[in-house]
Amino acid sequence: MEEEDQRKVTDLVVDLVRRLLPQQNPNSPHFSQSLRYALRILSSCLNPSISPDADAIAESIKRRLATLGNSSDALTFADLYTKFASKNGPGSVHNKWAVLYLLKIISEDRKTAKNGMDFSFLLPNLGLNDDEMGNNVRVLNGKDNREKGWKNGVLLVSKDPENLREISFREFGNLVKEENEVTEEVLVRDVLYACQGIDGKYVKFDSNLGGYALLDSVKVPRATRIIVRKLCELGWLFRKVKGYISESMDRFPAEDVGAVGQAFCAALLDELSEYYKLLAVLEAQSMNPIPLVSENASSGNYLSLRRLSVWLAEPMVKMRLMAVLVDKCKVLRGGAMASSIHLHAQHGDPLVHDFMRQLLRRVCSPLFEMVRSWVLEGELEDIFAEFFIVGQPVKAESLWREGYRLHAGMLPSFISQSLAQRILRTGKSINFLRVCCDDRGWAAAATEAAAAAGTTTRRGGLGYGETDALESLVMEAAKRIDKHLLDVIYKRYKFKEHCLAIKRYLLLGQGDFVQYLMDIVGPELSEPANTISSFKLAGLLESAIRSSNAQYDDPDILDRLRVKMMPHGSGDRGWDVFSLEYDARVPLDTVFTESVMMRYLRIFNFLWKLRRVEHALIGAWKTMKPNCITSHAFTKLQRAVKLQLLSTLRRCQVLWDEMNHFVTNLQYYIMFEVLEVSWSNFSNEMEVAKDLDDLLAAHEKYLHSIVEKSLLGERSQTLYKSLFVLFDLILQFRYHADRLYEGIHELQARTVESSLNSRDKKKSRRQEKDKSSEPGSWISEGRKALTQRASEFLQNMGQDLEALATEYLTLYLAYQMVCFLKACLELSS
């Protein structure tokens, strides 16, 4: 039955060829070649390398026909394929894709044959030739056919009827032995030794080449030498990594290694441990003999150079990465080392990415532990100076501004600058509360922050790749700890109340206190500065407090207000050196630093000078007003003298009005447009401040606004100097006004005395004669002499007032012009 089936298959193949080639003689060589070709195709077991898709293969055939210029054939094929694909059901072809693929392969093979190329090697060798096929392709059952592989009309395929394959393998083995002085098993073991940094029998480290290489005296094919050299690269990389680890561990605990460097070495050692395990497995396999090339060569647990190259492909990638990292990190430590390693993690290869991620988790664990300790405990655990936050010993008042800072060189690239600033501020807040405020409430806030962020306060809660968790923890901790810090500053240390006290006393906002203080210290401050007792001034300050509404302020605030005498020279008066100071103690001295208080002192000196000028004008008014109606006492004087007196008094009054107008407007501008507006803005910013940095920035803005708007800034030095010249002119006016009215009082008294003594002419002559010998006495002079002296005095006073008025008005106009130009420039900018 089996023979009958084989005969039937053979008949079908012959019949198929006859149908395809109806014009060919069955005894012709072409027909025999075609039959042989058909048998090879039908006997082949090749699998296609593309996915089975009938529509895709049909589209490919149609496109190929169109490309060749056979448009009509392409259309015909498309129509035939449509009909072919629509045939379903019994009797139809199920595997349509295979039929199309076969036709396409045959077509391409025929085209190749026409071009003179033979791809018959792609088909299995059936051991047939033209002689074996014979000129007669009829199916024979004779002896010759049975000897040639035919049985019962069926072609029998024999693997190797004459053991030609085994003979070829033996010849190949002999050829390999002739070309190789060393067996491949020995080379594999030497390569494995080299991969561990050990010299083998034939593969040794060459210092000239800087790596492992096969000895030149060993006779091996060039291809073998190349593959050995490529594999030995792993040994060179291993030596570099191993050397770095040994050198670093020998130097530890040196500062240039640090905790991050130690973690890096530990991670490298873990990778080398896995590498050692792989080498142990490979060494066990290398003990098995390598079979010759045969049909069973792919099976068996042996290790050849090519198999070894496959095994070591992934370790080679990892070792190269570790060697590159070792070169990069030799001079780096801490956050800089983590940044350098992180840059190599930005890779598209999943193997490299996962390897670097795992390595970075180990390397960055000390850094993330430092961040956790700093953010939640305020502890700077950085004995090797690897952290991106640096601390330095400072006084308590400088702890916030100078105690801690960011070290940009140690900031890892996977932590943003804004996040680093927030981390810095959070730890600073904890230390500020602990050192300056003697507060422990931050611990509860830190615990709440960790719970809200979903992390733990224990070690190991954070790691590389958890940037979102880190940001969440820092945000929650900063929000709670900063809020607690501001609550302590506002409520426990009454920051707002102290700011208001400075405004009221140093910026002269408490009007009744300032007025009373100026009244009682005025006479004392008119004396030379070196003769004034600071203790007496302190007593006068206490009197001013008790005599004004300041007495109702908090005793702690009043206790901080003190008198300060600035350095002075021999010609200075008390007015020039007197000032008030406010003692801002810890922790308020973080805001009210020494430099800040110096700026407050500068503002106080300006406002104090302005108040002194105002006080001088009020004093001049008190002197001038009672004397405005005293001119009737001089009715007996000559008309010219009376007119001169009235002119001098009028000039003095007009000048006082001008000066008072200027001082009043300037004081209104300073007190309301500058101080009150700035205070209102500062109060609003205090309410919305979220942390101490915001509070410091708000206070700095408040103080800067006062300095600039009060014309005390660097850009207003010209106006500032002009203002003080104007103030000096006003004080000179007060001196001239006092001298004028003192002279008028004296003239008035002498005029009355002269009128009383004129009743007794004889006696007056004798008295005038006697008095004329006394220098500076006007009583003994006659009316003429008195009139002459009054005229001279008034003339001198008029000249002095005229000169003073001219200088004042000139400077005042210049001051107004500069103010106008400054305002225009500010508007334009």
DSSP string, 160-191: -TT-HHHHHHHHHHHHHHHH-SS-HHHHHHHH
- The pLDDT of residue 81 is 81
pTM (whole model) above 0.85: no
The answer to whether residue 670 scores a pLDDT higher than 80 is: yes
Find out whether the peptide bond into 253 is cis, omega within 30 degrees of 0: yes
The answer to whether residue 151 scores a pLDDT higher than 60 is: no
Across all residues in the chain, what is the average pLDDT?
A: 78
For the chain, the maximum distance between any two Cα atoms, rounded to a whole number of angstroms, is: 196
- The pLDDT of residue 134 is 39
Cβ neighbours for 262, distance < 8 A, ≥ 6 positions apart = 248, 249, 252, 366
pLDDT average, residue stretch 705-722? 83
- The pLDDT of residue 122 is 39
pLDDT average, residue stretch 759-773? 49
485-489, 649-653, 764-768: which has the highest mean pLDDT? 485-489
Cβ neighbours for 362, distance < 8 A, ≥ 6 positions apart = 263, 264, 266, 267, 270
CB atoms near residue 60 (< 10 Å):
15
Which single residue is written with the structure tokens 């130009």?
821
Distance from C-alpha of 651 to C-alpha of 795, rounded to nearest angstrom: 12
pLDDT, tens only, 497-521: 999 999 999 999 888 899 899 889 8
104 vs 750, more confident: 104
pLDDT average, residue stretch 695-705? 94
- The pLDDT of residue 641 is 63
What are 677's two structure tokens? 């507006």
- The pLDDT of residue 748 is 63
How would you classify residue 89: left for phi > 0, otherwise alpha for psi between -120 and 50, otherwise beta? left
The answer to whether residue 711 scores a pLDDT higher than 50 is: yes
- The pLDDT of residue 626 is 58
φ and ψ of 293, to 5 deg: -65, 120
662 vs 460, more confident: 662
φ and ψ of 204, to 5 deg: -130, 165
pLDDT, tens only, 614-625: 888 888 887 776
- The pLDDT of residue 745 is 67
- The pLDDT of residue 145 is 41
φ and ψ of 603, to 5 deg: -65, -40
Distance from C-alpha of 540 to C-alpha of 601, rounded to nearest angstrom: 20
Q: What angle do CA 457, 463, 467 make, to 5 degrees?
A: 100
What are 631's two structure tokens? 């001119």
What's the sign of the alpha-carbon dihedral 368, 374, 379, 381? positive
Distance from C-alpha of 778 to C-alpha of 784, rounded to nearest angstrom: 11
The answer to whether residue 91 scores a pLDDT higher than 90 is: no
Distance from C-alpha of 38 to C-alpha of 19, rounded to nearest angstrom: 13
Distance from C-alpha of 51 to C-alpha of 463, rounded to nearest angstrom: 45
Inter-residue contact 13 to 39 (CB < 8 Å):
yes
The answer to whether residue 153 scores a pLDDT higher than 60 is: no
The answer to whether residue 166 scores a pLDDT higher than 80 is: no
Confidence of residue 826 (pLDDT cuts 50, 70, 90): low
Confidence of residue 125 (pLDDT cuts 50, 70, 90): very low
Inter-residue contact 582 to 501 (CB < 8 Å):
yes
- The pLDDT of residue 811 is 65
Distance from C-alpha of 147 to C-alpha of 130, rounded to nearest angstrom: 15
CB atoms near residue 159 (< 10 Å):
10
Percent of the chain with pLDDT over 70: 74
pLDDT, tens only, 28-72: 777 777 777 777 777 665 556 566 777 778 888 887 777 777 777
The answer to whether residue 348 scores a pLDDT higher than 70 is: yes
pLDDT, tens only, 550-563: 899 999 999 999 99
- The pLDDT of residue 489 is 94
760, containing H or E segment: none
What are 742's two structure tokens? 């003192």
Lowest mean pLDDT among 359-363, 522-526, 759-763: 759-763
Distance from C-alpha of 225 to C-alpha of 179, rounded to nearest angstrom: 12
pLDDT, tens only, 576-601: 889 999 998 889 999 999 999 999 99
pLDDT, tens only, 624-644: 765 544 545 555 555 666 676
